[in-house]
C-alpha cells in the first residue's frame, strides 16, 4: 500500500523519539513492500518560535493531506509562562480538534521484565491488560475559558467551562464497547456523577448505549476518586476503561506506573470509521516533552515506536506489521535493552538510538 505519514516531532525529546519510530516504519515498509512517504511539520513550541503559531497553516495543510499523523511531544519551560497567550499545548488541542479524533486509545500492558522496575508489588502486576479509551475533543479542555485581572495585572478569577453533549458520549462509548467485544467484553465507565452534571449525563448516556447496542458487553460504573485507588490495588481486574478527557489524562499517567515507565506507553487517537479509505488518526506516546533529559539521546523511544504500530493497525489495517513491531519491542526489552528510565539503580542503560537499533534488528529477523 501507499501512504503519506505526517511526522510532527514537536519539542523536547519529541524529535529524538519520533526519529526512531520513523526508522522502524521505513524498514518495515521496505521489507513488506509498502510505500510509506514521510513529511515533517512544525507543532508546539518550535512552531511558536519559528512561525508565532503552535499549529501553523502549513502543518494544518500537511495533516489534512496525510493518511496518518505521528507526533512526538509538545511543551517545555521555555513556553510555560502562565501569562503567555500562545502556548505549545494549544497546537496539540487544535490538531486533535481539526482531525476530529475524539477517541484516544491508551493500552497499558506490563512487560514482565519491566514489572521489577515498577514500584508496585510484582504479583499485583501479573495479567494487567487495560485499554483506556479517553474522550479527547470535549469537556474542560475545549470549553470556554475566562481569566480576569485587576488594573495592576493581578489575577482575580478564572473559569473553564465543561460541556458534554449526549452525542459526544455516545460515539466514544461505542468505540470502547466495540473494542471490548474483541477483548474480555467488560467496560468500566469512570465519572464523578456524585458531583458533576456532565458526569450524570455521561453515566446516563453510557448506560443507555450499552443496554441498547451492546447487551453482550458488561458495563460497570466507578467514581474517579475511588477508581484512582482501585487501579493501583487491583489493576488486573480491568479490561476497557472509558472516561472523559481530563480524567483520562490523569488516570493514564497513573496507569503508567504499572508499566514501569511512562516512556513505554503508546496512544492512538481516532475518529469515525469512514466507509472507504484510511481511518484518520493521530499517534503519539503518552509521555511529554521531558525537557530535563532532552537533547541527550537517552529518552525511551518505545512509546513512540509502539504508537507507530498502532498507526499501522488502526489507520492502515496492517495487523501483521503492527504485531511485528510490538513483538520486536517486547523482544528487545526481554533481551535486556533498557533506556535510563527503565533500569534498576546503578545498572547500565542504552541510548535512544541503541534501543531503536535493537528493535530494528528484531524486525529484520521477522
| Residues that bind Mn ion in the complex, under the rule CB under 5 A | 249
249 binds ligand IPM (CB under 6 A): yes
CA-based torsion, 96, 97, 101, 106: positive or negative: positive
Looking at beta carbons only, is 242 or 328 nearer to ligand IPM? 242
129 binds ligand IPM (CB under 6 A): no
Least distance from C-beta 248 to ligand IPM, angstroms?
A: 8
75 binds ligand IPM (CB under 6 A): yes
CA distance 223 to 236: 18
Element (H, E) at 333: helix 319-334
CA distance 66 to 51: 21
Task: Point out the catalytic residue in the list 53, 191, 239, 249.
Answer: 249
259 binds ligand IPM (CB under 6 A): no
Least distance from C-beta 69 to ligand IPM, angstroms?
A: 14
10 binds ligand IPM (CB under 6 A): no
Residue 198 CA, chain-centre distance (Å), reads: 23
365: which residues sit within 8 A by CB, 6+ positions away? none
Least distance from C-beta 106 to ligand IPM, angstroms?
A: 9
6: which residues sit within 8 A by CB, 6+ positions away? 39, 40, 41, 59, 62, 63, 65, 66, 68, 69, 70
In eight-state DSSP terms, residue 343 is S
Q: Which of residues 85-124 bind ligand IPM (CB under 6 A)?
A: 89, 92
Question: Among this protein's residues, is 238 annotated catalytic?
Answer: no
Question: Among this protein's residues, is 192 annotated catalytic?
Answer: yes
Grid cell at residue 102? 475524539
DSSP string, 117-160: TSSS-GGGGTT-EEEEEEE-SSGGGTS-EEEEE-TTS-EEEEEE
8 binds ligand IPM (CB under 6 A): no
Question: Among this protein's residues, is 164 annotated catalytic?
Answer: no
74 binds ligand IPM (CB under 6 A): yes
* Chain position whose Cβ is nearest to Mn ion: 249
Least distance from C-beta 156 to ligand IPM, angstroms?
A: 25
Least distance from C-beta 46 to ligand IPM, angstroms?
A: 14
Q: β-pairing, 129-135 with 281-283?
A: unpaired
CA distance 108 to 258: 8
Looking at beta carbons only, is 141 or 202 nearer to ligand IPM? 141
Task: Point out the catalytic residue in the list 49, 145, 216, 225.
Answer: 225
53 binds ligand IPM (CB under 6 A): no
Q: Is the CB of residue 270 less than 8 Å from the CB of residue 261?
A: no
Looking at beta carbons only, is 161 or 347 nearer to ligand IPM? 161
Least distance from C-beta 170 to ligand IPM, angstroms?
A: 22
Looking at beta carbons only, is 74 or 219 nearer to ligand IPM? 74
Grid cell at residue 347? 545498572
Task: Point out the catalytic residue in the list 53, 141, 238, 283.
Answer: 141
Grid cell at residue 355? 534501543
Question: Among this protein's residues, is 81 annotated catalytic?
Answer: no
Question: Among this protein's residues, is 292 annotated catalytic?
Answer: no
286 binds ligand IPM (CB under 6 A): yes
Chain residues binding ligand IPM by CB under 6 A are 74-75, 89, 92, 249, 286, 288
**Catalytic center residues:** 141, 192, 225, 249, 253
Amino acid at each position: 500500500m501507499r501512504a503519506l505519514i505526517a511526522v510532527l516531532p514537536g519539542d523536547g525529546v519529541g524529535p529524538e523519539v519520533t526519529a526512531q519510530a520513523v526508522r522502524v516504519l521505513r524498514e518495515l515498509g521496505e521489507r513488506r513492500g509498502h510505500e510509506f512517504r514521510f513529511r515533517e511539520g512544525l507543532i508546539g513550541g518550535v512552531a511558536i518560535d519559528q512561525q508565532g503559531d503552535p499549529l501553523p497553516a502549513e502543518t494544518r495543510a500537511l495533516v489534512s493531506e496525510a493518511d496518518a499523523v505521528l507526533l512526538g511531544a509538545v511543551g517545555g519551560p521555555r513556553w510555560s509562562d502562565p501569562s503567555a497567550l500562545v502556548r505549545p499545548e494549544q497546537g496539540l488541542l487544535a490538531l486533535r480538534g481539526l482531525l476530529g479524533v475524539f477517541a484516544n486509545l491508551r493500552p497499558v500492558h506490563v512487560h514482565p521484565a519491566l514489572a521489577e522496575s515498577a514500584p508496585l508489588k510484582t504479583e499485583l502486576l501479573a495479567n494487567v491488560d487495560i485499554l483506556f479509551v479517553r474522550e479527547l475533543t470535549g469537556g474542560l479542555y475545549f470549553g470556554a475559558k475566562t481569566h480576569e485581572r485587576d488594573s495592576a495585572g493581578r489575577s482575580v478569577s478564572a473559569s473553564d467551562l465543561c460541556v458534554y453533549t449526549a452525542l459526544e458520549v455516545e460515539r466514544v462509548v461505542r468505540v470502547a464497547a466495540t473494542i471490548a467485544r474483541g477483548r474480555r467484553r467488560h467496560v468500566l465507565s469512570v465519572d464523578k456523577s456524585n458531583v458533576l452534571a456532565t458526569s450524570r449525563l455521561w453515566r446516563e448516556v453510557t448506560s443507555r448505549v450499552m443496554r441498547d447496542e451492546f447487551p453482550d458487553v458488561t458495563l460497570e460504573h466507578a467514581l474517579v476518586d475511588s477508581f484512582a485507588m482501585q487501579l493501583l490495588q487491583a489493576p488486573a481486574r480491568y479490561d476497557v476503561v472509558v472516561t472523559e478527557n481530563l480524567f483520562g489524562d490523569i488516570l493514564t499517567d497513573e496507569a503508567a506506573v504499572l508499566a514501569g515507565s511512562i516512556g513505554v506507553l503508546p496512544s492512538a487517537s481516532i475518529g469515525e470509521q469512514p466507509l472507504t479509505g484510511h481511518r484518520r488518526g493521530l499517534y503519539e506516546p503518552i509521555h511529554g516533552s521531558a525537557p530535563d533529559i532532552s537533547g541527550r539521546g537517552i529518552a525511551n523511544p518505545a512509546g513512540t515506536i509502539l504508537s507507530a504500530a498502532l498507526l499501522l493497525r488502526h489507520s492502515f489495517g496492517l495487523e501483521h506489521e503492527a504485531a511485528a513491531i510490538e513483538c520486536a519491542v517486547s523482544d528487545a526489552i526481554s533481551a535486556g535493552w533498557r533506556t535510563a528510565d527503565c533500569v534498576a539503580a546503578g545498572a547500565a542503560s542504552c541510548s535512544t538510538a541503541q534501543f531503536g537499533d535493537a528493535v530494528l534488528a528484531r524486525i529484520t529477523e521477522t
